[in-house]
Amino acid sequence: MQALALAALLAWRAAAASAPDAGFIEETLQVPVEVEAVGGRVARQDIAVTVVRGTQAGRRPFLVLLHGRGASAAERSAMGLQTYPANSRYFAARGFVVLIPTRVGY
């Protein structure tokens, strides 16, 4: 009986893992943030947070996907909004709500 239940569970998980999502919802929100820098200087600005999720309703775990830091000020200012479509959709297809903030200074 336990072996049959385990086999049914494994078959259900395999089917659920391979079932394609009907689509994705991607939206970018402007979120106000305040950051205190070294020396006490406070920076206030809105940052863009892109949210990628599947279309199914219900509660989901979330994953924060952060970008790295450019070596120079020119690289950082040229970076712009990053959404990492392949990575974010990979995790969204597996049931995560993916949050991709654009860090202060970018």
Per-residue confidence of the chain (106 residues) as pLDDT tens digits? 444 444 443 444 444 444 444 599 999 999 999 988 888 889 888 888 999 999 988 889 999 998 767 778 787 777 777 788 899 999 999 999 999 998 776 6
Q: Assign residue 95 a region: left if phi > 0, alpha if psi is -120 to 50, beta otherwise?
A: left
- The amino acid occupying position 93 is A
- The predicted pLDDT at position 71 comes to 76
pTM to 2 decimal places: 0.66
- The answer to whether the beta carbons of residues 64 and 102 sit under 8 Å apart is no
- The predicted pLDDT at position 22 comes to 58
3-state secondary structure 43-100: EEEEEEEEEEEECCCCCCCEEECCCCCCCCHHHHHHHCCCCCHHHHHHHHHCCCEEEE
